[in-house]
């Protein structure tokens, strides 16, 4: 289309939309390049709102970060692209890993809850609603999980929402963090987009919990996109019988992982189960392999397999819209093929249906943001502790092959959450730790939540003292974290 034609259509559309409006619609006064390969937007005045702390991304880490910041006294905003808080906890993982050290693989080592504070409070609230399996100990596959804590993901969204409201957080859902306003090495605001228009949320300290590192990237942080994991869209299968499914696996000596806990309000029920593929029918195994299906599931209800995962290696980049559009389609096609497999081969699943899918593809890692410290594989497996640590953690996804030494813990240093080269920006969640093996520990949900508590608290303290992230005295942060229930080993 030639430039003149395009301009004409734009004007016509603009004239139609303008009827009855007091202000002209956006885009009527910009200009196109001669080759029509870009459009220069007109300058616009954006309304501002002022906060002490702005958290971008209301998922696993962001819910806790915003709650912690608000409870520390900061006027806090949380920006979440979807209509609810919760993130990958409610969409991707089978169970949340882990509040405990991996003690079972180490005779003589005691079980201890090493992540406490706000992440623990979330589970206590879920327990009151009967919306979690509780901390169910693994009977099989124990060296991997030790404890399986699964949640009713729909109620989790509500509990997280209520917790944010009680803390006084300004929660902007259905709102994208779409840009950053910076001044030298300082972030001044987040440009947000919603149906209420384009605005700037000004702040003194910022926390990026978007998983993709959107805010940090907009603010000019250094990053890479490792592309080292499969992406996933999981389904919840309804109208199944967990006990029949278990009986079938047992009969074929195919039970992989097993845990019992609270299910539909009854204790001692099977809440985590996986099939050892080796003993399942060939057709099932081969087809499951082709569609990246994992039979590991958890449940909080009798007739529900809450998570059946379908994996796909994105061709291209997880931060490219078009590559991800293909992933969205492929994964939905895989889910239907997976449902057929469950119906055909697994007793208890003959009349299953897809009761839930993730609203969009879940990534295991997007942008990796460069921070002042990069946690290494050795830090994790050697159980290293740091003078500036903000919590301790003991779980590793690759156990038993990779474990924290002697069933202990390692520390997460404050520096690992401070974005290199930017004075007042923190990150939390899957965006930290470049080493793939170390990331198999730090990326887990309970670690992401604890990172959120540390970053949100630090952001609030920095805002109240009008200081950058590197000027915050560690003692002040540590005192506050301990007061708020965070557990340290020394």
Ligand X SMILES: Cc1cc2nc3c(=O)[nH]c(=O)nc-3n(C[C@H](O)[C@H](O)[C@H](O)COP(=O)(O)OP(=O)(O)OC[C@H]3O[C@@H](n4cnc5c(N)ncnc54)[C@H](O)[C@@H]3O)c2cc1C
Note whether 96 binds ligand X by CB under 6 A: yes
Number of neighbouring beta carbons within 10 Å of residue 381:
18
Least distance from ligand X to the Cβ atom of residue 10, Å: 28
Binding mask 210-229 for ligand X (x = CB under 6 A): xxx-x---------------
Binding residue (CB under 6 A) for ligand X from 445, 453, 457, 469: 445
DSSP designation for 95? S
Among 204, 263, 443, 478, binds ligand X (CB under 6 A): 443
- 206 near ligand X, rule: CB under 6 A: no
Contact assessment for residue 147 and residue 105, using Cβ atoms and an 8 Å cutoff: no
Smallest gap from Cβ 192 to ligand X, in A, equals: 8
Q: Say whether residue 208 binds ligand X (CB under 6 A).
A: no
Contacts of 110 (CB under 8 A, 6+ apart): 103
Q: Which residues neighbour 162 within 8 Å (Cβ) at sequence distance 6 or greater?
A: none
Q: Which stretch binds ligand X (CB under 6 A): 110-118, 119-127, 437-445, 471-479?
A: 437-445
3-state helix, strand, coil in the chain (%, to 5): 35, 25, 40
Only segment of 106-114, 194-202, 378-386, 441-449 that touches ligand X (CB under 6 A)? 441-449
Contact pick of 171, 207, 209, 352 for ligand X (by CB under 6 A) = 209
Q: 3-state SS string over 365-420?
A: CCCEECECCCCCHHHHHCCCCCCCEEEEECCCCCCCCCCCHHHCCEEEEHHHHEEC
Q: How many residues bind ligand X (CB under 6 A)?
A: 39
Provide the minimum distance between the beta carbon of 285 and ligand X in the complex, in angstroms, as a whole number.
Answer: 21
Taking the complex as a whole, how short is the minimal distance between the CB of residue 165 and ligand X, in angstroms? 17
Question: How far does Cα 371 stand from its chain's mean position?
Answer: 19
Residue 441 found at the interface with ligand X (CB under 6 A): no
Among 53, 77, 95, 450, binds ligand X (CB under 6 A): 95
Residues 51-80 that bind ligand X (CB under 6 A): 56-62, 79-80
Alpha carbon 415 to chain centroid distance? 21
Ramachandran quadrant class, 242 (left: phi over 0; alpha: psi -120 to 50; beta: rest): alpha
Separation between Cα atoms, residue 348 and residue 364, nearest integer Å: 31
Checking DSSP bridges between strand 255-263 and strand 266-275, what pairing results, if any?
A: antiparallel
Rounded to 5 degrees, φ, ψ at 242 are -60, -40
Q: Binding to ligand X by residue 430, rule CB under 6 A?
A: yes
Candidates 203-211, 237-245, 320-328, 381-389: pick the segment binding ligand X (CB under 6 A): 203-211
Nearest approach, Cβ of residue 162 and ligand X (Å): 17
Q: Cβ contacts of residue 318 below 8 Å, gap of 6+?
A: 212, 225, 227, 231, 324, 363, 365, 366
Partners of 362 in the β-ladder: 232
Q: Write each residue from 346 to 385 as x if it is in contact with ligand X (CB under 6 A), else as -, in one continuous string.
A: ----------------xxx---------------------
Which of 81/241 has CB closer to ligand X?
Answer: 81
Q: Residues 429, 433, 462, 463: which binds ligand X (CB under 6 A)?
A: 429
Using left for φ > 0, alpha for ψ between -120 and 50, and beta otherwise, residue 17 falls in alpha
Q: How far is the CB of 352 from ligand X (least distance, A)?
A: 20
**Under rule CB under 6 A, residue 119 binds ligand X:** no
The residue ranges that bind ligand X (CB under 6 A) are 56-62, 79-82, 87-89, 92-97, 176-177, 209-212, 214, 232, 234, 309, 362-364, 429-430, 443-445, 448
């Amino acid at each position: 289309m030639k430039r003149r034609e395009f301009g004409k259509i734009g004007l016509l559309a603009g004239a139609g939309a303008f009827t009855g409006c007091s202000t002209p619609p956006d885009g009527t006064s910009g200009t196109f390049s001669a080759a029509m390969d870009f459009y220069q937007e007109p300058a616009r005045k954006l309304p501002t709102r002022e906060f002490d702390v702005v958290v971008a991304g209301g998922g696993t880490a962001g819910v806790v970060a915003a709650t912690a910041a608000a409870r520390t006294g900061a006027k806090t905003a949380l920006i979440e692209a979807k209509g609810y808080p919760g993130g990958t906890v409610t969409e991707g993982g089978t169970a949340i890993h882990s509040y405990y050290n991996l003690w079972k693989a180490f005779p003589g080592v005691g079980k201890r809850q090493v992540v406490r504070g706000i992440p623990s409070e979330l589970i206590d609230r879920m327990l009151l609603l009967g919306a979690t399996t509780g901390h169910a100990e693994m009977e099989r596959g124990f060296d991997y999980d030790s404890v399986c804590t699964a949640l009713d993901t729909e109620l989790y969204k509500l509990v997280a929402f209520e917790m944010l409201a009680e803390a006084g957080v300004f929660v902007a859902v259905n709102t994208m963090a779409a840009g950053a306003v910076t001044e030298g090495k300082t972030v001044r605001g987040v440009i947000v987009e919603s149906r209420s228009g384009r605005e700037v949320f000004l702040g003194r300290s910022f926390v990026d919990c978007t998983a993709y590192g959107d805010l940090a990237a907009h603010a000019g942080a250094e990053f890479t996109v490792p592309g080292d994991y499969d992406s996933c869209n999981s389904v919840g299968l309804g109208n199944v019988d967990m006990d029949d499914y278990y009986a079938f696996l047992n009969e074929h000596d195919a039970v992989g992982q097993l845990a019992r806990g609270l299910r539909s309000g009854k204790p001692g029920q099977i809440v985590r189960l996986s099939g050892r593929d080796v003993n399942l029918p060939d057709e099932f195994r081969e087809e499951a392999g082709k569609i990246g299906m994992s039979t590991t599931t958890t449940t909080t209800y009798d007739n529900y397999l809450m998570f059946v995962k379908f994996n796909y290696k994105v061709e291209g980049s997880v931060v490219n819209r078009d590559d991800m559009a293909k992933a969205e389609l492929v994964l939905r096609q895989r889910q239907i093929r997976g449902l057929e497999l469950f119906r055909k081969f697994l007793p208890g699943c003959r009349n299953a249906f897809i009761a839930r899918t993730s609203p969009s593809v879940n990534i295991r890692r997007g942008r990796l943001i460069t921070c002042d410290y990069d946690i290494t594989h050795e830090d994790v497996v050697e159980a290293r502790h740091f003078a500036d640590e903000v919590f301790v953690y003991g779980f590793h996804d690759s156990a038993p092959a990779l474990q924290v030494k002697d069933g202990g813990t390692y520390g997460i240093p404050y520096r690992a959450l401070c974005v290199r080269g930017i004075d007042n920006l923190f990150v939390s969640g899957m965006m930290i730790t470049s080493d793939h093996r170390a990331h198999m520990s730090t990326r887990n949900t309970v670690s992401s939540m604890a990172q959120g508590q540390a970053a949100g608290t630090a952001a609030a303290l920095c805002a109240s003292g009008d200081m950058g992230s590197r000027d915050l005295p560690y003692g002040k942060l540590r005192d506050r974290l301990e007061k708020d229930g965070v557990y340290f080993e020394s």
